[in-house]
Amino acid sequence: MSKTVAMITMILVLLGAGGSDGWCQSSQDNETVYAVQNRIFHRDHELNFNIGYIADDDFFHVYPIGVGYTYHFDDHMAWEVARGQYMFNSDKDLKDILRDEFNVQPERFPKQTYMLHSHFVYSPLYGKHAVMNRGIINNEIYFFAGPGVVHYEWEFSTGESTTEDALSISFGAGLKYFLSEKWCLNFEIRDLINFREEQTENNIYFGIGVGYRFNMAPRKVQDDPTMNKLKRILNDG
């Protein structure tokens, strides 16, 4: 019996809401109501300044630092035209352990020095977080994939060195927080597959970046019928 009462009550509430001005679809105005608010921080262009860490390199701690440019076609599709990163490398203890404990000295060490990639970006998820019930932070989850090239410097145990450019595939996911209409904070994890001449290398990248978003010209604003109706009611009152 209680389920029947609850169902009837819900139907009455929905019917009552359907007759309310400004909130649900009106057959007269042919309005469209969305369950989730449209994205309010959309910009066409984004410059990104990023820093990351590659932890699974055999001989070096790798710290990529770089910049990128992304063009957003709409709320869901974008193209990161280019992302260039220079690597700062710090020796791991593995070389010393191999030499001191096992009396083994590797002939050469592949060191990544810089990389350049281009990504297709898809952003299907958008939402909000309430911060201590005092403010709202808009965010989106995005996925990306694309080709690139990684430059290696081979260091020989004799002190000599040589270089190699390897084709690369980069893909992963990210979380973007909109700090304001122009600034955002990005967290990313991606898989780097580098096709070296001798073997294929697979690295996991963790990164954080700050994005500056802007438009070259005023963006066309799509009218919201519901908001326009509310404005008319407030003005008439």
Per residue in 209-227, pLDDT (tens digit) is 999 999 876 555 555 666 6
Distance in angstroms (rounded) separating the CA atoms of residues 70 and 80: 4
Q: In the structure, what pLDDT confidence band is assigned to residue 234 with cuts at 50, 70 and 90?
A: low
Cβ neighbourhood burial of 177 (10 Å; 0-12, 13-18, 19+): middle
pLDDT one-digit tens code per residue, 59-106: 788 999 999 999 999 999 999 999 999 999 988 766 666 565 655 565
Residue 152: per-residue pLDDT: 93
- Please give the average per-residue pLDDT across 40-47, as a whole number: 87
Question: Maximum distance among all alpha carbons in the chain?
Answer: 88
- pTM score of the predicted model: 0.71
Residue 52: per-residue pLDDT: 97
Collapse the DSSP code of 6 into the 3-class scheme (helix H, G, I; strand E, B; otherwise coil) and give the result: helix
CA angle, corner 209, sides to 128 and 200, nearest 5? 115
Q: Which amino acid is at 67?
A: V
Sign of CA dihedral 209, 215, 219, 221: positive
pLDDT one-digit tens code per residue, 133-187: 788 889 999 999 999 999 998 876 666 778 999 999 999 999 999 998 899 999 9
Distance in angstroms (rounded) separating the CA atoms of residues 9 and 15: 10
- Let me know: does 121 contact 80? Beta carbons within 8 Å: yes
| Distance spanning both ends of the chain, measured CA to CA | 44
Q: In the structure, what pLDDT confidence band is assigned to residue 190 with cuts at 50, 70 and 90?
A: very high
Residue 175: per-residue pLDDT: 96
Is the pLDDT at 14 greater than 50? The verdict is: no
Q: In the structure, what pLDDT confidence band is assigned to residue 18 with cuts at 50, 70 and 90?
A: very low
Q: SS3 for 64-79, per residue?
A: EEEEEEEEECCCCEEE
Residue 226: per-residue pLDDT: 67
